[in-house]
Structure 1
Amino acid sequence: MTFARPDHIGDPDTLPRMPAWVTSTRAETLEDVAFLSGAALNHLHLVLGHEAVPQALLRDRLALRAAEACVGFSGRSERLGELRDAVHLLRPGDLPGPAGETYLAWRHVVERPVSIKALGRALPSLDPGQIAAWLDAGKDAPVTRAAMVLETVLREVPRADAAGLILADAALAQALGWDHVVPLLAAALKRADLRKQGDDLRLACHRALVSSAVEAVRLSADLAPRAAHLKAVAPKLRAKGAGDAVEMLLTRDAVAPSTLPLPDRAARRLCERLVALGAVRELTGRDTFRLYGL
């Protein structure tokens, strides 16, 4: 869908804040928690329509957090930094490993508008017809649809946690009229929640979406001024290919200098220049094999 944008909506300072009562209200019943998740999702919808929010970057960073959660559900210990390394430091011919494959699946999901074809690219082990059938398993309101899809996938393929959560988020996005999948459920659900069914799973999903929508709004508020600052300093960059490099930094969670459209030395110097200008951060804390991002 196309979001309506007021005249002032390009200013990161105008990002609407999540109402305090959404997080301060204690709710126990399914009806009350559903009300709070609806309010949180509606507020997130407004934020996603804000021009100042670098939406591709936001989705990519949320994808990293979703992947970390899914890797944890599978019993593995890789955290955010290790997942970044597993994907961004791959050399031609290298395999990303199980954790890296999970992260790549989430990244592929958020890159393109949600569709059966896009989901099939992200989940190549699944038949597109099966993906479509699972998405059709969800009925009624958006969160109920997402919960039903998750329950159906995990009932039929009990260990397919990542696939079930990806498809649940896809069902949620479709129900809300969003063009792209926004990873929300995985990072806020617990492993035990994935074994729940019916109203218990719906309640867990509503609670997770309150938490994850609040976090997505907070992350949007953090990224919007960072993106604005990077755009503001971009005209100071003289290197050929700097514009394309800036665009990559505005759309990706992390970037290795070797992937930028510049010679290696020039790419490293550009990244160091952007760090000096306060426009990007070095994300690893290392002296070599560095990664950069907002």
Structure 2
Amino acid sequence: MDFSRALDTDHSETLLRMPSWVTSARAERIEDAAFMSGAALNHLHLLMARDDVPVTLIRARLALRAAEACVRFSGRPERAGALRDAVHFLRPGDLPGPAGEVYLSWLRAVARAVSVRSLNRALPNVEAGRIADYLDAGQGAPVCRAAAVLEAVMRAATQQEGPALILADAALSQALGLGHVTPLLAAGLQRADLRKGVDELRRACHRAVVASVVETVRLAADLTRRAAHVKAVAPKLRARGAGEAVEMFLTRDAVAAAELPLPPRAARRLCDRLVDLGAVRELTGRDTFRLYGV
């Protein structure tokens, strides 16, 4: 047995695990909620700084969760599968529909480093000057800043849950020095939370951050293992363009065979090969119009 590898594995799993006192504690006072969210965010920051953690893939998966939450807030029925279909099977000139637009906004928000310009690309209906003003609305600690931005956007446009949450997560990510938008708030908040007063909204954001970080840490542990397996089997792939295809799987939530930089038949064979090797999963359960992901 390779004891050094076993020790490395144990050490890695320990670092990827959220401390139990964060996950089990009940914070009744806002001071306690703030302490717990700070501890959770510190753990997340350390985790996302690790070289073996596929942070781009994690952000992409979190973007899907955030989009699903925003679509649910708007009362629409689309869930993850429908959102993936709306984006990955778009043809030139097609419109993704309202739910697909929400998902595209989140994908664009997480794709580039946080800036007014990148956020304007994600939210073309919000003027760049307004985006800058909203981001400046938040002061103080990261979660307080995010809550202030969320409250400011919702006060200005009550039916804009998606843009409000994107900008709030952008403010949170900026304050944490994460570089890119890392979606945390949308999946942890309820629609009713978005219309609360400043103090209650702040409390809700603290709780949402803790809940979302717990789920993100679990997701990171799973995707880190899966990504390591993808990298391990990559040398077995002989198709020209396989390296670029593997990189797509390691950075995207889902990939259609037609999106890979290979001829159609070779792309399908590569996807089947990766499924056989246990490196990726087929996500739709369909015989046609399939999507694959780590």
Q: Within 5 Å, which residues of 2 pair with 1:276-287?
A: 276-287=276-287
Give, in whole Å, the separation in 2 of the partners of 1:174 and 1:245.
Answer: 31
Partner in structure 2 of residue 263 of structure 1:
263
Partner in structure 1 of residue 4 of structure 2:
none
Alignment partner of 1:21 is 2:48:
no
Give the fraction of aligned pairs with identical amino acids, expressed as a percent.
69
Give, in whole Å, the separation in 2 of the partners of 1:132 and 1:38.
Answer: 25
Partner in structure 2 of residue 49 of structure 1:
49
Give, in whole Å, the separation in 2 of the partners of 1:259 and 1:15.
Answer: 35
Give, in whole Å, the separation in 1 of the partners of 2:78 and 2:52.
Answer: 32
Q: Aligned-pair distance for 1:110?
A: 0.4
Partner in structure 1 of residue 81 of structure 2:
81
3-state SS of paired residue (1:26) = coil
Give, in whole Å, the separation in 2 of the partners of 1:60 and 1:16.
Answer: 19
Q: 1:12, 1:228 within 8 Å by CA — same for their partners in 2?
A: no
Q: Aligned-pair distance for 1:13?
A: 4.1
Q: Aligned-pair distance for 1:14?
A: 5.7
The alpha-carbon distance between structure 1 residues 228 and 67, as it changes in their structure 2 partners (threshold 3 A), is same
Q: 1:12, 1:221 within 8 Å by CA — same for their partners in 2?
A: no
Q: Aligned-pair distance for 1:134?
A: 0.5
Q: 1:12, 1:224 within 8 Å by CA — same for their partners in 2?
A: no
Q: Within 5 Å, which residues of 2 pair with 1:1-294?
A: 13=13, 15-294=15-294
3-state SS of paired residue (1:56) = helix
Q: Higher helix fraction: Structure 1 or Structure 2?
A: 2
The alpha-carbon distance between structure 1 residues 176 and 90, as it changes in their structure 2 partners (threshold 3 A), is same
- Between the two proteins, the alignment pairs up a number of residues equal to 286
Deviations 1:124-145 (A, max 9, x none): 0111000000100000111000
Gaps of 5+ in 2: 1-7
Moved segments of 4+, more than 2 Å: 11-16
Q: Tell me the TM-score normalised to structure 1 length.
A: 0.95
Task: Give the counterpart letter for 1:35 in structure 2.
Answer: F
Give, in whole Å, the separation in 1 of the partners of 2:234 and 2:25.
Answer: 43
Q: 2:16, 2:220 within 8 Å by CA — same for their partners in 1?
A: no
CA RMSD of aligned residues (A): 1.2
Deviations 1:78-130 (A, max 9, x none): 00011000101111211100000000000000000000000000000111000
Q: Aligned-pair distance for 1:177?
A: 1.1
